[in-house]
């Protein structure tokens, strides 16, 4: 049985305009990697409802585990909740658990400010929109300010603020997907190859993968490395017991081709 891939949808004009730099992808790679998992893809989309809806339709249809960052607030430029419902073809409804948590947050703020909590005040009523999710959604707890995110199937929606989003992403991984964590060791072995084109090495790469199931062969070309100049970092990755014989086969094939070899690299 194949495991799902992991992907991201990162929403916001501020990312695409350069007003803010995205930090979510690097953090997601880190959090996934700590659990033996890897990111398979990421999509950036501005605050355009049609584009967001299309991106989320692809996410729901993929069967992948996808994290969507941003756009789940209640201001006019927040569209993700509405687009998720549109992508699913379901109505938006006030989630009862989300309502409780948002009301708790409003009471906390009133206490901090020394003012009475007025549940029917227009701004407080408006804040409940942050708990209006696609029908059938489940909440994602927010340890920072209690305003939850939500999940529908394997697509998970968190705020754009890193201080909230990152612990929420961790909670989803550790609560819903621990069975996917790779507990065994993982290893990469590669060698720097000079004076060769990837096309000439492709048959060897295909042979190594065919002869060593469970191993992935990778090729990382560079044209201007400060130490090695033009080269290809060619190697294999997977479980250590599988990596060693596959790497030996790769080296044998390279030597048979007569290409110049440089340093060998090992990465856990």
**With contact defined as beta carbons under 8 Å apart, do 5 and 59 qualify?**
no
pLDDT tens, residue by residue, 28-39: 999 998 898 999
- Alpha helices of 116-261 — where are they, by DSSP H? 122-127, 162-176, 198-211, 240-257
H or E segment and range at residue 263? strand 261-267
DSSP 1-20: -PPPPEEEEEE-HHHHTTSS
pLDDT of the residue at 185: 65
Helices 80-88 and 49-62, packing angle to 10 deg: 50
Residues 6+ apart with CB under 8 A from 112: none
When pLDDT is averaged across residues 250-254 and rounded to a whole number, the result is 96
pLDDT of the residue at 261: 95
When pLDDT is averaged across residues 141-147 and rounded to a whole number, the result is 95
Residue 184: pLDDT band by 50, 70, 90 thresholds? low
DSSP 210-246: HHSTT-EEEEEEEEEETTTEEEEEEEEEE-HHHHHHH
Q: Where are the domains of the chain?
A: 6-180, 187-267
Q: What is the mean pLDDT of the chain?
A: 94
When pLDDT is averaged across residues 123-140 and rounded to a whole number, the result is 95
pLDDT of the residue at 2: 60
Higher pLDDT, 224 or 159: 159
The fold of the 187-267 domain, in CATH, is Alpha-Beta Plaits (3.30.70)
Tell me the two tokens of residue 234: 């060619």
| CATH classification for the domain delimited by 6-180, as one of 1.10.3720.10, 3.40.640.10, 3.40.1160.10, 3.40.980.10 | 3.40.980.10
What percent of the chain has pLDDT above 90?
Answer: 87
pLDDT tens, residue by residue, 41-69: 999 999 999 999 999 999 999 999 999 99
């Amino acid at each position: 049985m194949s495991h799902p891939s992991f992907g991201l949808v990162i929403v916001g004009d501020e990312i695409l305009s350069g007003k803010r730099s995205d930090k979510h992808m690097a953090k997601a790679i880190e959090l996934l990697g700590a659990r033996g998992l890897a990111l398979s893809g990421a999509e950036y989309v501005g605050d355009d409802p049609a584009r967001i809806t299309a991106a989320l339709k692809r996410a729901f249809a993929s069967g992948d585990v996808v994290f969507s960052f941003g756009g789940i607030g209640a201001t006019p430029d927040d569209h993700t909740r509405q687009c998720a419902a549109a992508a699913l073809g379901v109505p938006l409804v006030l989630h009862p658990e989300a309502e409780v948590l948002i009301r708790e947050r409003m009471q906390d703020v009133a206490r901090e400010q020394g003012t009475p909590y007025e549940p029917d005040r227009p701004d407080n009523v408006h804040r409940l929109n942050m708990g209006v999710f696609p029908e059938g959604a489940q909440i994602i707890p927010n340890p920072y300010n209690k305003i939850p995110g939500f999940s529908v199937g394997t697509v998970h929606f968190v705020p754009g603020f890193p201080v909230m989003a990152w612990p929420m992403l961790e909670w989803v991984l550790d609560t819903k997907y621990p069975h996917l964590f790779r507990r065994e060791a993982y290893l990469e072995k590669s060698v720097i190859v000079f004076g060769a084109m990837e096309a000439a090495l492709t048959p060897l790469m295909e042979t190594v993968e065919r002869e060593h199931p469970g191993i992935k062969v990778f090729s990382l070309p560079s044209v201007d490395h400060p130490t090695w100049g033009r080269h290809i970092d060619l190697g294999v990755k997977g479980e250590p017991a599988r990596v060693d014989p596959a790497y030996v086969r790769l080296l044998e094939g390279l030597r048979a081709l007569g290409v110049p070899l440089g340093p060998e690299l090992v990465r856990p």
